[in-house]
């Protein structure tokens, strides 16, 4: 893949609505396109658009094994609502079991290195397996989630993975997202009603207070600069500060 291909794809998709953007990707790539969902509000909007248009884009989730009960309930409710398949990728026992034997279950609180290793085993490696053979990786990233990426394009080249990342709702606001969810009666994580705008693993996510940053509840014990899980590195830079 080349920068020119990325720019051309961006020109094709940049101004399309969510539905049309996904339809176009489906026409061009079919099952070579993968959407990763963590069942957050943005992800539920994209899942709805894929499933209701009967697209062949693969919908994939990474089950870290440490998710909230509410997230598993939403996973189940989403399957019941759409009657479609969501591929679930789990950490590999051969990676996780030695790590747990050496460090115990909650070592992510003890150091940044331990936390990143846990994210690597539970998220990054399963993601790599999920993206094997894929040409397009669709995400629910919104530019509003990062104060310094307002100029971010809808399509990026992740040259390390040799894949195009597409962010179909990049320009949506939090309010736009809620409007879409409510107007289409889309199931959503009930934790959003309890102060959790961004939802990841249960031990690493807390509710936020009014006025706090959108992502203040993720890895709240860490310095702001270290808060990433390795999923969204593009050519050595972090795509917005959103973790899955």
201 is catalytic: no
Q: Centre a 10 Å sphere on the Cβ of residue 182 and count the other Cβ atoms it contains.
A: 10
- 232 part of the interface to ligand SF4, by CB under 6 A: no
- Cα separation, 99 vs 108, in Å, equals 11
Which of 48, 122, 142, 242 touches ligand SF4 by CB under 6 A?
Answer: 122
Catalytic residue among 118, 201, 204, 229: 229
Closest CB to ligand SF4 among residues 1, 216: 216
Nearer Cβ to ligand SF4, position 9 or 201?
A: 201
Least separation in angstroms between residue 193's CB and ligand SF4 is 22
Using CA atoms, how far apart are residues 166 and 10, in angstroms rounded to an integer?
8
Within positions 182 to 221, which residues make up the interface with ligand SF4, using CB under 6 A? 200-201, 203-204
Please identify which residue in 115, 149, 154, 165 interacts with ligand SF4, judged by CB under 6 A.
115
The residue whose two tokens read 């009930």 is 190
Q: Tell which one of 9, 13, 199, 229 touches ligand SF4 (CB under 6 A).
A: 229
CA of residue 223 relative to chain centroid, distance: 22
Q: Is residue 61 part of the contact set for ligand SF4 (CB under 6 A)?
A: no
Where does this chain touch ligand SF4 (CB under 6 A) — which range of 35-43, 82-90, 111-119, 230-238? 111-119
User: Binding to ligand SF4 by residue 104, rule CB under 6 A?
Assistant: no
Q: How far is the CB of 115 from ligand SF4 (least distance, A)?
A: 5
**Is residue 38 at the binding interface for ligand SF4, with CB under 6 A as the rule?**
no
Residue numbers annotated as active site = 229
């Amino acid at each position: 893949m080349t920068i020119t291909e990325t720019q051309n794809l961006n020109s094709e998709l940049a101004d399309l609505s969510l539905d049309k953007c996904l339809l176009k990707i489906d026409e061009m790539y079919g099952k070579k396109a993968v959407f990763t969902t963590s069942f957050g509000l943005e992800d539920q909007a994209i899942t709805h658009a894929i499933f209701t248009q009967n697209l062949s884009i693969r919908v994939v989730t990474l089950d870290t094994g440490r998710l909230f009960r509410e997230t598993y309930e939403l996973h189940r409710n989403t399957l019941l609502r759409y009657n479609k398949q969501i591929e679930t990728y789990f950490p590999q026992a051969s990676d996780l079991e030695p790590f747990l034997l050496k460090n115990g279950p909650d070592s992510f609180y003890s150091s940044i290195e331990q936390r990143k290793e846990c994210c690597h085993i539970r998220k990054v490696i399963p993601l790599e397996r999920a993206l094997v053979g894929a040409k397009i990786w669709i995400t629910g990233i919104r530019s509003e989630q990062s104060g310094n990426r307002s100029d971010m394009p809808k399509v990026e080249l992740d040259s390390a993975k040799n894949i195009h990342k597409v962010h179909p709702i990049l320009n949506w606001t939090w309010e736009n997202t809620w409007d879409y969810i409510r107007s289409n009666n889309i199931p959503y994580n009930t934790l959003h009603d309890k102060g959790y705008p961004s939802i990841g693993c249960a031990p690493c996510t807390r509710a936020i207070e009014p006025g706090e940053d959108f992502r203040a509840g993720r890895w709240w014990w860490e310095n702001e600069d270290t808060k990433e899980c390795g999923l969204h590195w593009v050519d050595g830079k972090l795509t917005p500060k959103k973790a899955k």
